[in-house]
Amino acid sequence: MEISVTVNGKTYRHNVPPRLLLVHYLREQLNLTGAHVGCDTSQCGACVVDVNAQSVKSCTMLAVQADGAQVTTIEGLATNGAYHPMQESFWEMHGLQCGFCTPGMIMSATALLQRNSNPTDAEIRHALEGNLCRCTGYENIVKAVRHAAQQGRAGSNGSMHQGAKPEVPESAEELEHPRRDDGVPEKPETVGDWEGENAGVDETTPMGQGGM
């Protein structure tokens, strides 16, 4: 079947099988691989995109159903090379770990703020019920959405943090010692510091003293 779909501002025309899913059309025909296929059962939300201003799981929609539609994927959120405020918030507040669920999370969260610019934490959690994350425990995801909402209410335009995203990729040393919510130490912690913290040991207390 012949379809015409506008994706991220560009119109595409293809002859597609009637049973082709939108997510496979985006990934395989248009090479827009940000929408992930995570479950094949419409449960995980990794494939969420925006269709005619509605948040949609693209694994539940046929490509032919998008004929004539306006579709936005995670690749289309950035403007003129500047990250979307929600993308920056996920980076700033560490709302991702492996990153597999992140595109769907960001798309769902962006849709939430479009209809509710000042959601409560409960409303954020409810809006993201259809998106599963296997890594972060959701706390930083909620913080990221809250942060984006706060920045939006502050009236920022385009990029929220002009200096937040490094001009060049992080060094190997920075990647080994990622930022934390309470800021970046002037010098990265040592492996010993991290091991002590993860074990619940106060670094001022000798091992074996003052245990649990």
Q: Domain residues of the chain, as ranges?
A: 2-76, 77-180
For all residues of the chain together, what is the average pLDDT? 81
Select 2-76's CATH number: 3.40.50.300, 3.10.20.30, 3.40.50.150, 3.30.930.10: 3.10.20.30
Backbone angles phi, psi at 2, to 5 degrees: -85, 130
- 52 vs 186, residue with greater confidence: 52
Select 77-180's CATH number: 3.20.20.140, 1.10.150.120, 1.20.120.10, 3.40.309.10: 1.10.150.120
Length of the chain (residues): 212
- Split at pLDDT 50, 70, 90, the class of 48 is very high
pLDDT of residue 196: 46
Q: What is the pTM of this model?
A: 0.72
Token digits of residue 108 = 């769902």
Q: Hey, which of 123-127, 134-138, 169-173, 184-188 has the most confident mean pLDDT? A: 123-127
Residues 21-54, buried b or exposed e (16+ Cβ, 10 A)? bbbbbbbebbebebbbebeeeeebbbbbbbbeee
